[in-house]
Amino acid sequence: MTMRTNSRFLADAMLGRLARWLRVLDFDTVFDPAIDDPELVALADTEGRILLTRDRHLVEYLQPARSVLITRDAPLEQLRQVIETCRLEPPPALFTRCMVCNTPLRHATEDEAATLQPGRARTLPGPVWRCPGCLRVYWPGTHTWRMRETLQQALPEWL
């Protein structure tokens, strides 16, 4: 299966952590654990998404147009499986999509950054981002540094 860098995904209820890592890498990844299997397949097919699932039965009997049966257990191993199977290319930037709701982030205004960031975070260098979907605020702090280090170890050829 050869995919383009702009591949879009739909992760089933068992793959929430994988969905977050894909979003960190700027891959459009829908995740809603409340969606049942037939609806998952219909949504993936309608939106042209690759269905990511650990459910062999779903793949065999509901036959989504495009799917990856995730066989690995750890989220970063699952991420590597998706990258290898779909032949994904590294993104131009990390942390450009909301990890919670999947919406592309926008730069926060100065007022938003000043009022929404915790006090210590205001002193950190780097841009502040805001999710127009769920209104979360993101900035380059220790959490993102740890995630970058984790990705560097898991995908050294990418970062």
Q: Are residues 119 and 148 in the same domain?
A: yes
CB 58 within 8 A of CB 44: no
What pLDDT, on the 0 to 100 scale, is given for residue 6?
61
Q: Are residues 117 and 76 in the same domain?
A: no
Q: Are residues 81 and 14 in the same domain?
A: yes
In a domain, 51, yes or no: yes
Q: Are residues 28 and 80 in the same domain?
A: yes
Q: Are residues 32 and 75 in the same domain?
A: yes
Q: Can you give the three-state secondary structure of 22-91, one letter per residue?
A: HHHCCCCEEECCCCCHHHHHHHHHHHCCEEEECCHHHHHHHCCCCEEECCCCCHHHHHHHHHHHHCCCCC
Residue 42 sits in which domain range?
A: 9-86
- Domain count across the chain: 2
What pLDDT, on the 0 to 100 scale, is given for residue 3?
46
Q: pLDDT tens digit string along 3-34?
A: 444 699 999 999 999 999 999 999 999 999 99
Q: Are residues 68 and 114 in the same domain?
A: no
Domain C-terminal end among 53, 86, 119: 86
Residues contacting 131, CB < 8 A, separation 6+: 98, 100, 101, 103, 105, 106, 137, 138
Identify the residue whose tokens are 């191993």. 77
Please tell me the distance from the alpha carbon of residue 131 to that of residue 56, in angstroms, as a whole number. Answer: 34
- Judge whether residue 1 has pLDDT over 80: no
Q: pLDDT tens digit string along 47-72?
A: 999 999 999 999 999 999 999 999 99
CB 24 within 8 A of CB 66: no
Domain C-terminal end among 86, 120, 135: 86
Residue 11's φ and ψ, nearest 5 degrees, are: -100, 135
DSSP class of residue 120 equals G
